[in-house]
Structure 1
Amino acid sequence: MDGQDAETGRLIRQVRKRAGKTLAVVARDCDCTVSFLSKLETGHTQASLNMLHRIAHALGVNIRTLVPTQAGGASRIVRAGTRRFLAAPHIRGGDGIRLEMLSGQGGEDVFQVNLHHVAPGGRSDGQIVHDGDEFIFVLAGEIDLELGPETHRLGAGDAAFFPSREPHGYSNPGSGEAVVLWLNSPPTY
């Protein structure tokens, strides 16, 4: 594991202790084992984005609280060559997804914008549910957007808007990379 794993684990432990919750309570609330959560807190394992959402929900915080950020304040300008990518370990290896952060990470932001780069066969780790609303616009390729029990095939130029409380996930059924502009309000991480 790398330093980012250890920092994520340290942040989870810090927030959990500040909330006065035991490993057992958080593990139960996010449907994982105490062993997994302990290994995560010590940087000996990785969590999927879905699991980070569940842990954040169990701790009553936004996922961005649990993810290490770059030093410095929020910026109104995010240059092409300096954008941060969120990939493994925060999105479990093998999922084929990288998130390119287009918006700043200021604590007062009312929305967050990312480019989701989804490799052929790449997929989210199941469906997630959280507070807020989402808007997506497919820039390239195609994705299967899962909204509850329904699956919608979206291609370049297609868009979707849905409440984040609706279970949602996605995958790339195509043979090329899919690129999706994704807006969350409020910021998810």
Structure 2
Amino acid sequence: MNKTNKILWFVIALLVILNLATIGTIFYHNRQSKDDNQAIVLDENRPNPLTGRFFRQELGFNDAQMEVFREANRHFQYVANDLIFEMDSLKSEMFEELNGPHPDSTRLHNLSAHLGRHHAELKNVTNDFYLKIKSVCDSSQCERLQGAFLPLFRDGTAANFGRRYNRNDSIGRGQAYRHRYGRSWRSH
């Protein structure tokens, strides 16, 4: 009887360990899947946002390349989202100042300069993100990577000057949506 109890306890312990390993595996794969689905939306009209799934399926990234993407994406998303939030806040402050009873041009210049610094920092973070991903791409992947990021770098060119806003329309009421840095919101 004593030997039978030992065997039963051993089997129970083995089953507990097996269950814990299974639960751990499920959590690990869910986390991996969540990282793969985090999107970098450059243009909402594009059929594929730049998710981990996009890089794996469209560019054919292997596991090592995906790990570089995940690491770069975590940093990029964290910094870019903070910058975008601050830029949106600065734009709101500027618009309120412009429409106040006595706009302060010095304050407007300071807000503009601050916004410009954030914009430059966002571009630098985006460039670093792109270069980290590009560093693990082969030549065919680099071509597809270029195509995926092209809308971000094309939108600000002189060829598109005036596309977003009508003349004398500082908030873009002429457009239903504003697309910038992966965000869109309804114009007022």
Interval containing the TM-score (normalised by the shorter chain): under 0.3
Query: Which of the two has higher C-alpha Rg?
Result: 2
Structure showing the higher strand proportion among its residues: 1
TM-score, normalised to structure 2's length? 0.28
Structure showing the higher helix proportion among its residues: 2
